[in-house]
Structure 1
């Protein structure tokens, strides 16, 4: 840090020790220079929340919370919006949250995928003003939306294709 003329800001610095097996003999902090930094249970980096087990539970909960908040905000003006305008708003404000860094969600438990899928299903029903008991598959097909699991696979496939075809940034 000294060589790069950087200074450690203790108030903003977080450290995460990843330990999926809960080992009992791990240190509680790390010393960097004169500063003692305690390990956090979770940290945020570029808007993604990582926990000490890399379970992504907190990240999925935060995504769902912010997506439902956006749906509630849109619902206050839904009565004056067309289906196309609503689709555009939901795509911009809700699906963008579901898609942001979703490649990091590859391999998470199905119950977390299901939570995200419920948000997407709710969004599709919201766009078409249908009830909760309406089957969502035709709505997703009409919107040309992939399921959450398919969106994650598509993102990873696209990234891999870019690397293999030499179109990815260096």
Structure 2
């Protein structure tokens, strides 16, 4: 590190080893001989990362924080209008505090009455909105290398459909990658939706389409 003009701050640096337990133990002992104590979990940019890569600690932390805020909202709901309550609860993707729905009751009718998309369709919405912004020069620059517009070598019927290239993958994990997942869902959209002139129009039409798919 000294050769690269770097210095390790013992008070601020946390060391974690990933891999199976046996290899982690061996590496940890070697690092301890170098006065580097390893940890089972560390925090980086607010994310708790564990040595098993399960993110169980991070999930527990988020869940605990979410329930804390939901309880606080429940306490002050009598002082808020229905619209303000919807905005607050919608931020946590939850409706039970707002509508007093029991855990044993089906949540789909409640979501439909509030005109909220289920979580899975909300994910579609976020991903497809990111693709639209990227293709129209409104997204982050690094997305340009991930989302490549399909341009056939000769004129085809699909030329004007706004398709993007779907990378070839050989495993299910590869299909879950953003580049593959985004291309697969974007290419299924109607051409008139993909060619929406503005972000607001695209969002409105996309939500209408997903709402119909979710509840009809």
Tell me, yes or no, whether TM beats 0.5: yes
CA distance in 1, matches of 2:22, 2:135: 39
Aligned residue for 2:58, secondary structure, equals helix
Q: Aligned partners of 2:132, 2:22: CA distance in 1, in Å?
A: 38
SS at match of 1:49: strand
Structure 2: unaligned runs, 5 residues or longer: 143-216
How much does 1:8 deviate? Answer: 3.0
* Structure ranking higher on relative contact order (CA contacts 8 Å, 6+ apart): 1
What is the 5 A alignment of 1:1-170?
7-19=7-19, 21-24=20-23, 26-28=26-28, 36-92=35-91, 95=92, 120=93, 123-152=94-123, 155=126, 167-170=139-142
Q: Distance in 1 between matches of 2:8 and 2:123?
A: 36
SS in 2 for 1:54: coil
Higher helix share: 2
Higher strand share: 1
SS at match of 2:89: helix
Report deviation, 1:39.
1.8
Q: Alpha carbon RMSD of aligned pairs, Å?
A: 3.2
- TM-score, normalised relative to structure 2: 0.51
Larger Rg: 2
